[in-house]
Structure 1
Amino acid sequence: MFPEISDFLLENYFISIYGITLVLSIIRYRRYFDTVLKYFPIIIAYTLFNEILGGMIKYFDEFQVVFIDKYSYYNVILFNLYSLIFFLFFYYVYWNSIQNISHKNIVKIGAVIFLSIYILSLFFQNPMLMHLYYAYTIGAIVLILCVLFYFKKIFSEKEKPYKHHQNLLFWVSLGLLVFYVFDPALMIIGLKNDYIYIKYNLHTLLYILIVAMYTFFIIGFLLGKRRAFR
């Protein structure tokens, strides 16, 4: 088992950045413990646990969530559930971070649409065996809109008693935007045309995007100031 664990860690080297981000989120927690990001460390811990459990299911026969030999290594149910929790968390964050009423209504409507498509997908796709990519794509689009609304808010403020690079949510938003602009397309390509996905090594690009997103999170934890949080 130890060689398999070593291979798993080498292949999924990006997992270490989840751990680093989690540690920093806890160390810097007093800077944002009473803000909309107060539950962010839980989301990061959940991400880390989800990736480790997903890898164990994929690599080790002792772990499985699908009790059919042909699909015993399938772990997509973990990520289908994760995307639901992740998107809803950030919809909550941005709904509470923007003041424009029309933008808040769009976020609310987008969340309802995402939830509706997610529920409908359960009737047409087996969440144990298939990525709910329709719901995921809509969820990512709504999240991108949330980030853009937030950026419009902070960049249109006439009085700026703080610098954007001192704002944790600014860096979190940058990371989310960089990742979710590309990730839905990568997922669909991987599911619909694995030849292109493998030929152009898009899995490596996915890892790079993950590292980039969490690097922005880390910068936010390092530079973030309590007074600058918006």
Structure 2
Amino acid sequence: MRIIENNTELRPFWAKIFNFDWKFGSFLILIICIPRFLLVLDANASGNYSLIGAVMIVSAIAPFIFLSKSGRRKIGIIGTRKYKWILKSLIFGAAASLLLYYLGHILYGISYENWFAYIAKSYKIPKEICGTQKSILFIIMAVTGMTFSPIGEELFFRGIVHSSFAKSLGEKRALLIDGLAFSITHISHFGLVFLNNHFKLYVVPTILWVLSMFLLSLLFYYCKKKTDSLLGPVICHGAFNLGMIYSIFYLL
């Protein structure tokens, strides 16, 4: 019988099956990241993104499914009084998105080799839209972008996945693993692009995009450490998405 006294992060049912370690973290990556990768590719081809929100919801509730109350607190699902770092997290996220926008614009203009230009396809912004209608659509997309993926991805990657690897492999290795999982998963958003009814890999832009996502993952983790809470990376991630959506609507 599995010894669960030192496995208090997991709910009793799951503690009988798993240890809270790198094997459990690998299991989570397999059951969440691979289906998500395939679903996003399919959505890019079909234009139907309805299931992506469901993936983010599943990612967000994973800690509540698998972890005990003390386990959720240990991974950072707690409040924080470090308000200065919450504000800094907001600024860092917005600044990172604008830097990534300008890098893409300088290197690739408005071609689909520019990550934000390709991602903009999924927003389906009518060319004739302007004024109030454009502002309303922007607000809708901004609110959606600042909630679903920041909460889902941070509770998943910087939360339950990182902590499970960190317990058995240490913080540095866990940071590398969850950063790689996060950045490689985002190849489905940009990298394997769907154009002219087939997928194509933009090698150099993809490398730059993956590296950017990895560095972004490090930034999110930094905000977690500074706030002692997952609220830091959620705020930073939300600000990044806001900056990206603003860039797509008003700068491209």
Asked if TM exceeds 0.5, the reply is: no
TM-score norm. by structure 2 comes to 0.27
**Higher relative contact order by CA 8 Å / sep ≥ 6: 1 or 2?**
2
TM-score norm. by structure 1 comes to 0.29
